[in-house]
Structure formats: C-alpha cells, structure tokens
Amino acid sequence: MQKKWWMESVGYQIYPKTFYDSNHDGFGDILGIYEKLEYLNDLGVNLIWICPFYDSPMDDNGYDVRDFFKVYESFGKLEDVKKLLDRAHELGIKVIMDFVLNHTSDEHPWFIESRKSKDNPYRDYYIWHDGKVINDKKVEPTNWGSFFGGSCWNYDELTDSYYMKIFSNKMPDLNWKNPKVQQEIVDVGKWWLDFGMDGFRIDAVSHLDRDSFVDIKNAKDKYPLDWHKFSNLPKVHDYLKMLNKSLFTTNDALTIGEVGGQATIKEAIKYAGFNSNELSMVFNFDHNWCNNLFDITNPKKLKTNVVDLKKTFNKWQHAFKDNGWVPLNWLNHDQPRLMSQYGDYKFPLQSGKMLATALYLMRGTPFIYQGEEIGMTNYPFEDVNDFDDISSRATYTYELEKTPDDPVRALKVASLRSRDNARTAMQWNKEEFAGFSDENPKVLVNRNYKKINVETQLNDQKSLLNHYKKIIHLRRFSEFKDLIVYGSYEQIDIENEYIYVYKRIYEHQTLLVINSFSRKKQVYQLNHYDIKNIVISNYDKQKIKNQELTLRPFESIVFEVKEKL
Ligand code: GLC
C-alpha cells in the first residue's frame, strides 16, 4: 500500500473568525492562529485546515469570495498568512486552506462584469438562463430549491434573466463548463500553492455540474430541494481529473473534497480512490445523522443510534480499506457541537473521552474541530437575532411559516442544527470573553466558558484535553503508531446497541477498542482474548472478572490483546 505524509498526520480545523483575536477588535484573525500555534503543537496536531479567510462581503462567512488573492481586512494581511505558514512549517505543521470553486461572491469582479450585459466577455463565467413564462408571469427557469432556502435561481433586472445559485443570492455559481473558468481556478490554486499552502479542503466539490434544466415533478414545496440536480454528476469527475493533473499532482498537494450531496460509496471511490487521480480524500456526512436530533420533543433522551453509527463507519472503513483513504471527523463548522450531539450531558467527561477514542483510533486521518478537544457545547439561543448564519436564519423563517403562532418552536428547531453552534468563540480561559478577545467580541461567547476552557483543562491531568493529547500521542509517537495508521480495521458485534467494539491489526500487534455509548452498566465478554496491556481508558481500575468486562457509563478501553487460538 502506498504511504503518504498525510496518512500519518493529525489534523485540526480552524474557523478563523472565532479562534483567537490577536488585535483586539473582537474578531478572530490570522495572527490569532499564529499566536496559538504553540498550543496546537503541544496538542500534537501536525496539520491544520483553515476555513476561508479570502476577502469577502461575509454573506456566508467568507465562503462568498470577493477576491481570491486578498485577505479579508479583519482577518489581516497576506504577510500574516506568510508568517503563519513559515512558523507552522518550522514546527512541522502543514497547512491547508479552503478552496471555494463552486461559486464566488456577487461582488467578485467576474460577476460584476458578467451581470452587465448578455454579451459581456464574463457572461459565461456564471450560469445564466431566461425565465419561463407561466400564465403571463415570469418565473424561474426551474422550480429547484437551494440549500439556504427558496429558489436556486435569482432574478437580475439588468438583463432580465436569472443566475443560478445553489447557496445564497450573493453566491452565484460558476459555470464549470467554461474552460476559461477552469483555467482561472487553476491559476488561483497554483498561486496559493506557490505561496506555501500544502493543499486544500475543497468546498462543495460535488456540485460542480448541473443536471438538465427540467422541473422537479409532483413537488410538495414550491422550490423542492433535490440534491441530485446538482450533485455528483459525471462531469464533476472530468473537472477533478483536470485539476488533479494540472494543479494537485504537480504541486504534491493534499486535497480533501467536501462531498455532501449524498455521495454513495461507489461515487466516493471515484473521487478519492488511490487510482482515481482526483482527490486525496473526501469528507462525507453519513455519520452526522445517526441520532434523533430532529426530535425536539425530548432532546435529552439517549439519542445515538449506535447500530446505525457502527454500520456507517464500517461501510466507509471497509470500502476504502485497500483502495483509498478517509478523513476521520466527527463534525465541522456546519454541524452542531459533538458534545451536544453524540455526547451525554450527564457524563460529559466520560462520553467526550469515549467519542475521541472511538473515532480517532480508526484507520484514516483525524480532523478535530476547534473546541471539540475541550468538549465545547451548543449555544443556548434565545432570540432569532442570535443567529449570524444565513442558513440558520432561513431555517427559522421556514419553520415560522409552518407555525406562525409558535416562534418558540421555530427557534428551537433552528437552534438544534444551527451552524452557529460550532461558530462560537473558542474558550481559552476563565477570563472575560473566554480569553478569545479582550474587546467586546463580535461573535457569540458561550456562557459556560468558566467551566469549559483550555487553561483549566491543561492543568488537569484527567481532562478531556489531556485525553485528546494522549490519543494523538498514541497515533503519532507510540509503539502502536504503525498499527493505528496502517493496520486493518475489523468491527465486531455489530448488532450490539450499546457497545462499539473494533479491532485494529498490524503484523504481530492487535488492539481491541471497546466503547460504551450507554448510561447504564454494560458487560462485554473477553474470553477470546489474552489481554496483554491496557493502552488507554477513560476510567481507573477496570472491572474484569472471569473474562467479563463490566463497562461503566460511557466507559472506553483499549487493550493490546492476543487472540486465543
Ligand atoms: C460548504 C461549507 C459551508 C458553506 C457552503 C457554501 O458546505 O462547509 O460552510 O456555507 O459550502 O460555500
């Protein structure tokens, strides 16, 4: 099997706006990341992914790019990025950035030109279409819905036509069929790789092609959202092969594509199989739905569907076992917090440690999302004005239309999955504003920062943060490092509803990873194994009697074992 540096890395995702404010303006910045590099190095990560910091009007927090070659003013300057890269590289930390290529901002010069007239040279940089006339009324070319609500077309008076935008109105979609667009994007990527970036997380990559413009039939909604209309269509692979050849391979870049759009395993292998010549890996979201988070009637009941979760991870681990590589991430900046989703509010420390052990000892490259390592939680939204995220506001409006007399319900639904949950200030210490900033922050700060913060946990050997450090250490420096990175993965007892057990095997070593997702006592039989050592655990004094292991709430334990013949 081929071996690559990024297979042996441990990644960490940074949302720059809320990571650390170095210049006292209440907004996170690039030099803020620079100042926290020692922290990241001490944590043990050696790869960071930074969410967009391009110049942008910030309609979607930087995913709406106004200038690919400039840094958004509040984030800093290009020199700051250079300084960050140099220091990170000195510390042995690789850096990848978000590469947004499905759309730009409507304030990008290409779009400003494109909308001017039908014969503008930039017209075909975007996807323009005339409207349909129904009953003497002009309507959108198709009834397709967009991810952020409403139609995926926006009307532009100037030329009396519609442009496509599968996200917000201010994010017009690029027309990838146009070779000039392809070349522009290659130039952008090349520029950043030459600047010193080690690769990209490629945003919304599965959406680069569109189906033919035909209405969705028998739809309940006015603008039904059907991912198939703009996800994982065949041309996407041609575009990626082109990018791979002219940009990624020639520059030895690490590339991880975001493939929402319900990419199947077969599709995923096409994107990121070892022989696909497209991407190094793909982020998928299958494991983000193995709970009843939408059931707002009883948000506190045990919500993880453990069997589903196991089947999901198993599916990806198996499909990629000889053919490719996967990233290992619980959640990201678009999802609610891990602790509020798969963690347990009664056993935060035990469940947090268990979740880290369960995922990050699998085969793949971990990506820890900022704040996950200290167990940050969802934000207690009290008002719709707390939402900064455009899609959370859209969800609220949509839910309120359903029950106009019940704004509390609408807020509750929008809050549960709100992307703003993951975008609150990083909790560094007990000081005002969680040590994120010393000025009034322009971002939300969760009130629980006095209890949940980096400084307190650094000083506590038994903290979640120190558990993350131990896991990372195991992956990178221990006698099991080759096993954890390159060993095989084998899941056992798949139908057990409470315990997630898998084995990792490499040459003469075997690890048995046992994780209880239960608040109640669980029992696990160890009679097939001779136990050599306890490698890591989240409780002291394991209870093993007559080859029977009794697991306490959310207990997690990793044994080095020898299988009995
Ligand atoms: C991706 C990003 C998300 C963004 C969207 C549009 O899904 O992760 O934050 O809103 O693409 O760029």
Give tens-digit pLDDT for 409-459.
Answer: 999 999 988 999 999 999 999 999 999 999 899 999 999 999 999 999 999
Alpha-carbon Rg for the chain in angstroms: 24
Mean pLDDT of the chain: 95
Q: Which of 529, 527, 493 is nearest to 511 (CA)?
A: 529
Lowest model confidence (mean pLDDT) among 135-144, 165-174, 254-263: 254-263
Q: How far does residue 360's CA lie from ligand 1's centre (Å)?
A: 24
DSSP 8-state code for residue 476: H
Q: Tell which atom from ligand 1 comes closest to the C-alpha of 102.
A: 12
Q: Which two tokens stand for residue 480?
A: 């099991």
Q: How far does residue 550's CA lie from ligand 1's centre (Å)?
A: 43
pLDDT of residue 89: 98
Cβ of 258 less than 6 Å from ligand 1: yes
The pLDDT confidence band at residue 301, using thresholds 50, 70 and 90, is: low
Convert the pLDDT of each residue in 58-90 to its tens digit.
999 999 999 999 999 999 999 999 999 999 999
CA distances (Å), 340 to each of 17, 351, 382, in order? 22, 11, 17
Q: How far does residue 104's CA lie from ligand 1's centre (Å)?
A: 12
pLDDT of residue 295: 62
Q: How far does residue 256's CA lie from ligand 1's centre (Å)?
A: 14
What is the H or E stretch that residue 488 is in? strand 488-492
The pLDDT confidence band at residue 251, using thresholds 50, 70 and 90, is: confident
Convert the pLDDT of each residue in 5-58 to its tens digit.
999 999 999 999 999 999 999 999 999 999 999 999 999 999 999 999 999 999
Cβ of 98 less than 6 Å from ligand 1: no
Q: How far does residue 203's CA lie from ligand 1's centre (Å)?
A: 6
Instruction: Find out whether 489 and 514 touch, Cβ atoms under 8 Å.
Output: no
Instruction: Find out whether 112 and 84 touch, Cβ atoms under 8 Å.
Output: no
What is the H or E stretch that residue 112 is in? helix 109-114
Q: Which of 255, 110, 241 is nearest to 175 (CA)?
A: 110
Catalytic center residues: 203, 258
DSSP 8-state code for residue 426: P
pLDDT of residue 69: 98
* Per-residue pLDDT at 178 exceeds 60: yes
The pLDDT confidence band at residue 250, using thresholds 50, 70 and 90, is: confident
Q: Which two tokens stand for residue 478?
A: 């221990």
CA distances (Å), 442 to each of 22, 35, 100, 423, 427, in order? 14, 20, 24, 12, 15
The pLDDT confidence band at residue 261, using thresholds 50, 70 and 90, is: low
User: What is the mean predicted confidence (pLDDT) over 163-180?
Assistant: 98
Cβ-in-10-Å burial (0-12, 13-18, 19+) of 397 comes to middle
- The strand pairing partners of 164, in sequence order, are 153
List, in order of start, the domains of the chain with CATH numbers: 5-102+174-379+418-471 (3.20.20.80), 109-164 (3.90.400.10), 382-417 (no CATH), 478-563 (2.60.40.1180)
Cβ of 162 less than 6 Å from ligand 1: no
Nearest CA to ligand 1 atom 2: 203
Instruction: Find out whether 366 and 455 touch, Cβ atoms under 8 Å.
Output: no
Q: Which two tokens stand for residue 464?
A: 């979640």
Nearest CA to ligand 1 atom 6: 63
Cβ of 147 less than 6 Å from ligand 1: no
Q: Is 122 helix (H, G, I), strand (E, B) or coil?
A: coil
Cβ of 64 less than 6 Å from ligand 1: no
Share of the chain above pLDDT 90, in %: 92
Cβ of 173 less than 6 Å from ligand 1: no
Ligand 1, residues 334, 390, 392, 419: which to mutate, most atoms within 8 A of Cβ? 334
Q: Tell which atom from ligand 1 comes closest to the C-alpha of 63.
A: 12
pLDDT of residue 297: 56
pTM higher than 0.85, yes or no?
yes
Instruction: Find out whether 1 and 322 touch, Cβ atoms under 8 Å.
Output: yes
Cβ of 60 less than 6 Å from ligand 1: yes
- The strand pairing partners of 536, in sequence order, are 558
Nearest CA to ligand 1 atom 4: 63
Cβ of 140 less than 6 Å from ligand 1: no
The pLDDT confidence band at residue 260, using thresholds 50, 70 and 90, is: confident
Q: Which two tokens stand for residue 128?
A: 């323009």
Q: Tell which atom from ligand 1 comes closest to the C-alpha of 332.
A: 8
**Whole-number Å distance between alpha carbons of 339 and 199:** 29
Convert the pLDDT of each residue in 193-210 to its tens digit.
999 999 999 999 999 999
Q: Which two tokens stand for residue 388?
A: 């900064």
Task: Give the strand pairing for 488-492 and 67-71.
Answer: unpaired
Q: Tell which atom from ligand 1 comes closest to the C-alpha of 60.
A: 10
**Whole-number Å distance between alpha carbons of 31 and 20:** 8
Calculate ∠ Cα 139-143-148, nearest 5°: 110
Convert the pLDDT of each residue in 466-498 to its tens digit.
999 999 999 999 999 999 999 999 999 999 999
Q: Which of 524, 513, 514, 520 is nearest to 553 (CA)?
A: 520
Nearest CA to ligand 1 atom 12: 63
* Per-residue pLDDT at 379 exceeds 60: yes
pLDDT of residue 92: 98
Nearest CA to ligand 1 atom 7: 204
Nearest CA to ligand 1 atom 9: 334
